[in-house]
Structure formats: structure tokens, C-alpha cells
Chain A
Amino acid sequence: DIQMTQSPSSLSASVGDRVTITCRASQDIGSDLGWYQQKPGKAPKRLIYGASNLQSGVPSRFSGSGSGTEFTLTIGSLQPEDFATYFCLQHNSYPLTFGQGTKVEVK
């Protein structure tokens, strides 16, 4: 199984801050990775697909980078609606595996 190691598990930030979250894969997954935003009681929402492609309708302050084993999600300027949990998901092979999630909290 491919293990996804996500860091940090939580962070405190202020509106306007730049935020970076990292996922590392235990083996090469190419660009077969997505980033998702999760809010309580709501369906997770995909932000980035193919490691670096912005999902239609998602604000451009979100960006993704990386390939192979190291991936990054960046929020360029944190907005009030961005306080949420973020996770990565690899779909290179079954079983699909997730990062443990990063909770972005108000500083």
C-alpha cells in the first residue's frame, strides 16, 4: 500500500497569511494526487487535481505543486472561509490512500 504522510497535522494562521501543506508518498505516484477541503457536516470539495491543476470554480489563491513523492498545497492569502481541514488523496493504485489531514485554525 502507498502511505501518504501529511504535515503539519494542524496550524494556526491569520487572514492574509500564506499557508503551505505537504504530502509525501511512500513511492512514486506521478501526478495522481488531489487536494480536498473538508468542513464539518459538508461534502469534501476538491481543490486541486493531477497535483497541480486548479479545479473549476476554486479561487486562484489555491495552488498545488509537486510530482513523484512530494506534493504541496499552498493558499496564497488565507481568507475567512478557508479555515477548514485539508487532505490529500492518491489515486495511483488501490487501495486509495489519504493524508491524515491538516486543520487550519484561526490564530
Chain B
Amino acid sequence: QVQLQESGPGLVKPSETLSLTCTVSGVSMNTLSYFWVWTRQPPGKGLEWLGTIYSSGITYYNPSLESRITMSVDTSKSHFSLKLSSVTAADTAVYYCARQTTLDSDYGAVDYWGQGTLVTVSS
């Protein structure tokens, strides 16, 4: 059973760097069959895709965040990570990690999600 679990500080100060990790279980990350995704949902608002990383380390980032976002992957530890620098109150959100599949009939679709973790940016 595929499971994804976000972890990291729930409170980050303005101008600092938000750091989260997503631990993956039930499937090997060391495969070309899946990509790994971060999304977020500010309180009362819709979901926003932040970026996708392949097991090879290739990344695709949301252009609106490209100057502040870094994603990395460690397949040996079955986790991938998000860093978002210079945060402001506007970065307060529930952050979700998720998986994209590369199965032919479903290429690029997001099929599994973590339950999310609330990160508040406040001094």
C-alpha cells in the first residue's frame, strides 16, 4: 500500500526557509515509473502545484516560485524534500506531497497523496 507522509516544522519565521520532507513507503522511489510532487493549499483557497522531481533529480518548478524553491530526492532513504526560501505570510498553507505516475494510460496523473501538513509563517 503506497503511503506518503509529510514532516517538518509547523512554524517558520518570515524571511526564513521552509523545509519539508516527504517519506514514501509501499513502493520503491528508485524507478522511472513515478515522479514526486509538492503542492500546497492556503487557508480557504485552492490548491497550487509547487513542483515535480524525478528520481534522477530533474525538476520542474512553478514559475511563480522558481526563484525561491528547491526540491531534492534521496531514493536510498525513500524520501524527497522541499525548501522554500524567504517565506512570508502568503506561504502559510497546508503542504501536500504526492506521486505522479508514468503508466501509459495514466501518464503524468497524480494518483497518491499525503495527508498534508500545516505550515504557518509568523514571527
Count of residues in A whose CB is under 8 Å from the partner chain: 24
Please judge, given known A-B contacts A43-B116, A50-B105, A95-B62, whether A34 and B110 are in contact too, CB under 8 Å.
yes
Residues of chain B contacted by A89 (CB below 8 angstroms): 47, 110
Task: Report whether B114 and A43 are in contact in the complex, using a CB–CB cutoff of 8 Å.
Answer: yes
Residue of A at shortest CB range from B100? A91
* B4 proximal to A (CB < 8 A): yes
Contact with A along B82-123 (1 / 0, CB 8 A): 000000000000001010100001111111111110000000
B48 CB to closest chain A CB (Å) equals 7
Interchain CA distance A84-B50 in the complex, whole Å? 24
A-B contact count (CB 8 A): 61
B82 CB to closest chain A CB (Å) equals 15
Which of A11-19, A64-72, A74-82, A98-106 is the contact stretch? Answer: A98-106
Q: State the majority secondary structure of interface residues on A.
A: loop
Of A43, A87, A94, A101, which is within 8 A of B52 by CB? Answer: A94
Residues of chain A contacted by B116 (CB below 8 angstroms): 41, 43
Contact with B along A32-49 (1 / 0, CB 8 A): 101010000111111001
Task: Report whether B109 and A50 are in contact in the complex, using a CB–CB cutoff of 8 Å.
Answer: yes
Task: Report whether A49 and B109 are in contact in the complex, using a CB–CB cutoff of 8 Å.
Answer: yes
Task: Report whether B46 and A98 are in contact in the complex, using a CB–CB cutoff of 8 Å.
Answer: yes
Residues of chain B contacted by A94 (CB below 8 angstroms): 49, 52, 60
Q: List 14 A-B contacts (CB under 8 A).
A: A32-B109, A41-B116, A43-B4, A43-B114, A43-B116, A46-B109, A53-B105, A87-B46, A92-B108, A94-B49, A94-B52, A96-B37, A98-B48, A101-B46
